[in-house]
Structure 1
Amino acid sequence: MRIHLLSALLVCALTAACGQSPSANEGEEAHGAEAAEFERGPHRGRMLRDGDFAIEMTIFEDGVEPEFHIYAYRGNKPVAPGEVQLSVELARLGGRVDRFAFAPQEDYLRGTGVVAEPHSFDVKIKAVEGGRTHSWTYASYEGRTTIAAEAARQGGVKSEKAGPGTVSELVDMSGRVEITPEGKADVRAWLPGRIVEMRGQLGQSVRKGQPLVRVESSHSLQVYSIPAPISGIVVEKNANVGDVTGDRALFVIADPTKLHAEFFVYPRDAERIRVGQRVDLRSLSGEARLSATVEAMLPTADLASQTLMAHVHLPASAATLFRPGMGVEGSFAISETQVPLAVRTKAIQRFRDFDVVYAKVRNTYEVRMIRIGRRTPEWTEILSGLEPGTEYVTDGAFLIRADIDKAGASHDH
Structure 2
Amino acid sequence: MIGRVMVVVVLAACGGDKVHERHVDEHLPAGSGTQRAREQGDHVSIAPEMLRDLRITTAKVESRAAGERVSVLADVRVNQDAYAEVASPTTARVLRVLAKAGDEVKAGQPLVELASADVSKARGEVQAAEERVAIANQNLARKQALHADRLIPERDVIEARAAVKEAEAARTAAAGQLQPFAVSGAGGVLVLRAQVGGTVIERDVVVGQLADPSKTLFRIGDLSKLWLVAHVFERDAVRVQLGATGAASFAALPGRTIEGPVVWIGREVETPSRTIPVRLELANPGGVLRPGMSAMVSLPVGEPGGPVIAVPMAAVQRVGDRWAVFIPRGVGEFDVRTVGRGRELGGDVEILSGVAAGEEVVVDGAFLLKAEFDKASGEGGHDHEH
TM-score normalized with structure 1 length: 0.48
* Cα offset, 1:200, TM superposition: 4.2
Query: What are the within-5 Å matches in structure 2 for residues 30-69 of structure 1?
Result: none
Alignment of 1:181 onto 2:80: yes
Instruction: Quote the offset at 1:161 in angstroms.
Output: 10
Deviation at 1:144, TM superposition (A): 0.1
In structure 2, the partner of 1:337 is 305
Amino acid at match of 1:218: K
Whole-angstrom distance in 2 between the partners of 1:203 and 1:366: 48
Q: 1:259 maps to what in 2?
A: 226
**Deviation for aligned residue 1:147:** 7.4
Residue 299 to residue 367, structure 1, CA distance change in 2 (3 Å): closer
- Rate the CA distance shift 1:312–1:95 in 2: closer, same or farther, 3 A: closer
1:207 Cα deviation from its structure 2 partner? 1.5
Equivalence for 1:309:
277
Tell me the secondary structure at the aligned position of residue 122 of structure 2.
coil
Paired amino acid for 1:292: E
Change (3 A) 1:409 1:198: same
**Which one-letter code corresponds to 1:337 in the other structure?**
G
Deviations 1:241-285 (A, max 9, x none): 585x76446622222615322233332222122322333323456
2:322 corresponding residue in structure 1: 354
Asked whether the 8 Å contact 2:75–2:228 carries over to 1, the reply is: yes
Q: CA RMSD in A?
A: 5.4
Deviation at 1:373, TM superposition (A): 1.7
Q: Per residue, is there more strand in 1 or in 2?
A: 1
Counterpart residue type for residue 267 of structure 2: P
**Distance in 1 of aligned mates of 2:103 and 2:60:** 48
Question: Which of 88, 94, 101 is equivalent to 1:203?
Answer: 101
Deviations 1:8-48 (A, max 9, x none): xxxxxxxxxxxxxxxxxxxxxxxxxxxxxxxxxxxxxxxxx
Residue deviations 1:219-257 (CA, integer Å, cap 9, x gap) = 2144453322233216254696585x7644662222261
Asked if the contact 1:180–1:259 (Cα under 8 Å) also holds between the matched residues in 2, the reply is yes
Equivalence for 1:226: 192
The whole-number CA distance in structure 2 between the counterparts of 1:331 and 1:390 is: 19
Q: Which amino acid aligns with 2:193?
A: P
Distance 1:235 1:306 in 2: 33
Q: Greater CA deviation, 179-188 or 397-406?
A: 397-406
What is the DSSP-based 3-state SS (H/G/I as helix, E as strand, rest coil) of the residue aligned with 2:123?
Answer: coil
Offset of residue 301 of structure 1: 3.3
Tell me what 2:288 maps to: 320
8 Å Cα contact 2:68/2:346 also seen in 1: no
CA 1:142–1:238 in 2, change beyond 3 Å: closer, same or farther? Answer: closer
Supply the distance in 2 between the matched residues of 1:370 and 1:240 (Cα, whole angstroms): 65
Relative contact order (C-alpha < 8 Å, sep 6+): which is higher? 2
Structure richer in helix, relative to its length = 2
Q: What SS does structure 2 have at the residue aligned with 1:274?
A: coil
User: 1:290 and 1:239, CA in 2 relative to 1: closer, same or farther beyond 3 A?
Assistant: same
- The residue type equivalent to 2:123 in the other structure is S
Q: Secondary structure at the match of 1:276?
A: coil
Whole-Å separation in 1 of the counterparts to 2:114 and 2:226: 31
- Give, in angstroms, the shift of residue 309 of structure 1: 2.0
- For residues 353 and 274 of structure 1, the distance between their equivalents in structure 2, rounded to whole angstroms, comes to 39
Tell me, yes or no, if structure 1 residue 298 matches structure 2 residue 298.
no
Map Cα deviations across residues 354-374 of structure 1 (whole Å, 9 max, x no partner).
2245899xxxx9977554222
Change (3 A) 1:237 1:313: same
2:287 and 2:373 map into 1 onto residues whose CA distance is: 38
| Structure 2: segments with no counterpart, 5+ residues | 1-11, 13-25, 125-186, 329-333
Give the count of matched residue pairs: 272
Asked if 1:170 corresponds to 2:69, the answer is: yes
SS in 1 for 2:254: coil
Change (3 A) 1:300 1:253: same
CA displacement at 1:314 relative to structure 2: 2.6
> CA, structure 1 residues 403+158, in 2 after alignment: closer, same or farther (shift >3 Å)?
farther
* Cα distance, 1:392 vs structure 2: 7.4
Shift of the alpha carbon at 1:188?
A: 4.6
Opposite residue 233 of structure 2, the aligned amino acid is Y
Equivalences for 1:45-194 in 2 at 5 Å?
Answer: 144-145=40-41, 164-167=63-66, 169-188=68-87, 194=92
Structure 1 gaps of 5+ residues are: 1-5, 7-93, 97-115, 119-140
Q: For residues 318 and 172 of structure 1, do their structure 2 counterparts lie closer, same or farther at Cα, with a shift above 3 Å needed?
A: farther
Residue among 247, 254, 258 paired with 1:280: 247
Selected match of 1:375 from 327, 331, 344 = 344
How far residue 331 of structure 1 moved from its aligned partner, in angstroms, is: 2.5
